């Protein structure tokens, strides 16, 4: 039954996960102390393990850089996370039970007073909960990954800037950003600003943010920055750089970036819930010619799909000596890309990161085409020829692999954003210092 749970309707999966998380982890947000910067993200954003703690590559990397300026950092885990206190870097606190209690109460109120009243009641309660959290720790700034409207409203009300740190693809077809920035006209529901990896993503956001007066800053990718501008005192990076390829041989290495929620979002093309059948067949057909690294998304490691994904991979590829998914999912992505000759994915944002490392990507989403629902995805990388869409048949994928391997590595698409990142961090440190005077 657990292996079939990923096919449950989203509302049932959400409520089931919420109840389990609220039961497993006691609320502890009241243990927060006064801080300069509050970090907010979900378990799904903590894709690395460092010193036996879950580490949010992007947000914790940015937090570490800010901490070097003498700022005090505190962390909150978004519902319905389970990695709290000593289980995660920065000892994040949670408010799962209060959030779940509000949801359950609103369902009862919905039966009595109707959906509109129930929704408005729940929104007031959730906004007030975040108001209490912010009053308790008094940050000068909030850095989050996709902060919800309740964080944003409370931040605006308290005069606290809320920034959304890019964690993946931002495109004109992205439902999360399009819905919030084009259909939601309430300024208080939106972040004070967005922190983007590069000019391409920033330009996409600015089409929507300029008219709303929301700032967009290009700060690069704090996680990748650590591996491309190596600090000898950065123990996390030094430990990772000492790792050696675990499939050390002369065969070309192909990285596959898997994605979570495939059955829910792309079930038409991914019937097994993990990858298209054509890619599965390609791996099986070429297992003696290439090393295959099947890198899991954090939600496939720690989320409700994990058992299903592990079962599928072991059953399908467990007999192959040169196909691996455990270790390559634990090693930092910049290191894995350094080991890789090619990259294949359905539509993962690793496409952009692979381009930074000069690695060609084959995209398998049939909707990434003219007129498709994902037609704008990776338009920059596709124009440069470092990424291209592939038909969902194994022969075409194998032909692309053979012809693209001959090219070797491409020129990196990365643009140095160290100066703008340093300027942003210095601005935060100055604001915190002024508030403490």
Mean pLDDT of 108-136: 96
Confidence of residue 1 (pLDDT cuts 50, 70, 90): very low
For residue 415, the tally of other CB atoms under 10 A from its CB is 12
pLDDT in tens, 259-294: 999 988 899 999 999 999 999 999 999 999 999 999
Quote the pLDDT of residue 183.
66
Proportion of the chain above pLDDT 70, given as a percent: 95
Return the closest-CA partner of residue 8 out of 16, 79, 315: 16
- Tell which wins on pLDDT, 341 or 229: 341
Average pLDDT, the chain: 92
Indicate the domain borders of the chain.
Answer: 14-220+418-436, 249-405
Quote the pLDDT of residue 275.
98
At residue 423, φ and ψ (nearest 5 deg) are -65, -40
CA distance 109 to 122: 9
pLDDT in tens, 51-92: 999 999 999 999 999 999 999 999 999 999 999 999 999 999
Return the closest-CA partner of residue 300 out of 313, 291, 290, 309: 309
Return the closest-CA partner of residue 143 out of 186, 192, 189: 192
Proportion of the chain above pLDDT 90, given as a percent: 79
CA distance 260 to 265: 9
CA distance 67 to 428: 11
Quote the pLDDT of residue 187.
86
- CATH of span 14-220+418-436: 3.40.50
Confirm if 334 and 227 have CB atoms less than 8 A apart: yes
Quote the pLDDT of residue 410.
97
Mean pLDDT of 144-155: 95
Q: Write the secondary structure of the chain as one string of H (helix), E (strand) and C (coil).
A: CHHHHHHCCHHHHHHHHHHHHHHHCCCCHHHCCCCCEEEEECHHHCCEEECCEEECHHHHHHHHHHHCCCCCEEEEECCCCCCCHHHECCCCECCHHHHHHHHHHHHHHHHHHCHHHHHHHHHHHHHHHHHHHHHHHCCCEEEECCCCHHHHHHHHHHCCEEEEECCCCCCCCCHHHHHHHHHCCCHHHCCCEEEECCHHHHHHHHHHHHHHCCEEEECCCHHHHHHHCCCCCCHHHHHHHCCCCCCCCCCCEEEEECCCCHHHHHCCCCCCCCCCHHHHHHHHHHCCCCEEEEECCHHHHHCCCHHHHHHHHHHHHCCCCCEECCHHHCCCHHHHHHHCCEEEECCCCHHHHHHHCCCEEEECCCCCCCCCCCCCCCHHHHHHCCEEECCCCHHHHHHHHHHHHCCCCCCCCCCCCHHHHHHHHHHHHHHHHHHHC
Asked if the model's pLDDT at residue 436 lies above 70, the reply is: no
Residues with Cβ < 8 Å from 54, sequence gap 6 or more? 43, 46, 48, 83, 87, 88, 89, 302
Quote the pLDDT of residue 4.
47
pLDDT in tens, 343-376: 999 999 999 999 999 999 999 999 999 889 999 9
Asked if the model's pLDDT at residue 25 lies above 90, the reply is: no
Residues with Cβ < 8 Å from 327, sequence gap 6 or more? 246
Which residue, chain included where needed, has tokens 């690069």?
220
CA distance 297 to 282: 21
Label residue 14 exposed, middle or buried (CB < 10 Å: 0-12, 13-18, 19+): middle
Alpha carbon distances (Å) from 430 to 64, 70, 408, 436: 16, 10, 46, 10
Confidence of residue 10 (pLDDT cuts 50, 70, 90): low
- Across the beta sheet with 141-144, the strand order is 73-77, 37-41, 141-144, 161-165, 193-196, 215-218
Reading the block at residue 80, the tokens are 């319905």
Confidence of residue 12 (pLDDT cuts 50, 70, 90): low
The CATH class given to the 249-405 domain equals alpha beta
pLDDT in tens, 166-192: 999 988 767 677 777 766 668 899 999
Quote the pLDDT of residue 50.
94
Reading the block at residue 5, the tokens are 């749970």
Query: 14-220+418-436 and 249-405: same fold?
Result: yes
Asked if the model's pLDDT at residue 125 lies above 60, the reply is: yes
Distance between start and end Cα atoms, the chain: 58
Confirm if 56 and 41 have CB atoms less than 8 A apart: yes
Mean pLDDT of 18-33: 92
Quote the pLDDT of residue 185.
63
Asked if the model's pLDDT at residue 3 lies above 50, the reply is: no
Alpha carbon distances (Å) from 124 to 118, 150, 159, 388: 10, 9, 18, 46
């Amino acid at each position: 039954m657990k292996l079939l749970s990923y096919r449950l309707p989203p509302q049932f999966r959400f409520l089931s996960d919420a109840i389990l998380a609220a039961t497993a982890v006691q609320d502890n947000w009241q243990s927060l102390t006064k801080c300069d910067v509050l970090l907010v993200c979900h378990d799904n954003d903590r894709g690395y393990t460092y010193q036996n703690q879950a580490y949010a590559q992007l947000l914790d990397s940015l937090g570490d850089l800010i901490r070097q300026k003498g700022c005090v950092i505190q962390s909150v885990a978004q519902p319905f996370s389970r990695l709290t206190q000593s289980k995660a870097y920065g000892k994040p606190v949670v408010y799962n039970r209060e959030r779940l209690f509000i949801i359950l109460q609103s369902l009862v109120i919905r039966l009595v007073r109707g959906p509109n009243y129930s929704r408005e009641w729940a929104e007031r309660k959730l906004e007030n909960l975040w108001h209490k959290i912010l009053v308790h720790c008094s940050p000068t700034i909030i850095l989050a990954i996709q902060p919800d409207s309740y964080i944003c409203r409370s931040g605006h009300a308290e005069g606290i800037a809320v920034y959304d740190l890019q964690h993946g693809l931002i495109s004109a077809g992205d439902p999360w950003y399009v819905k919030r920035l084009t259909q939601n006209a309430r300024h208080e529901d939106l972040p004070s600003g967005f922190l983007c990896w590069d000019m391409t993503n920033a330009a996409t956001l600015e089409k929507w943010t300029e008219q709303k007066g929301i700032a967009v800053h290009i700060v690069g990718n704090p996680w990748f920055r650590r591996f491309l501008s190596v600090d000898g005192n950065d123990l996390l990076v030094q430990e990772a750089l000492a790792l050696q390829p675990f499939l050390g041989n002369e065969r070309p290495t192909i990285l596959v970036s898997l994605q979570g929620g495939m059955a829910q979002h792309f079930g038409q093309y991914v019937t097994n819930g993990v990858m298209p059948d054509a890619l599965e067949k390609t791996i099986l057909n070429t297992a003696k010619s290439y090393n295959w690294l099947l890198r899991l998304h954090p939600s496939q490691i720690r989320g409700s799909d994990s058992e299903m994904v592990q079962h599928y991979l072991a059953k399908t590829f467990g007999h192959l000596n040169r196909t691996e998914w455990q270790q390559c999912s634990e090693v930092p992505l910049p290191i894995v890309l350094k080991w890789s000759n090619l990259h294949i994915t359905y539509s993962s944002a690793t496409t952009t990161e692979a381009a930074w490392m000069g690695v060609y990507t084959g995209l398998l989403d049939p909707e990434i085409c003219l007129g498709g629902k994902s037609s704008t995805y990776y338009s920059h990388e596709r124009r440069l020829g470092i990424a291209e869409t592939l038909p969902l048949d194994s022969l075409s994928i194998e032909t692309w692999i053979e012809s693209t391997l001959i090219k070797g590595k491409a020129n990196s698409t990365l643009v140095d954003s160290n100066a703008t990142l340093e300027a942003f961090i210095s601005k935060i440190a100055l604001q915190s210092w002024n508030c403490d005077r």
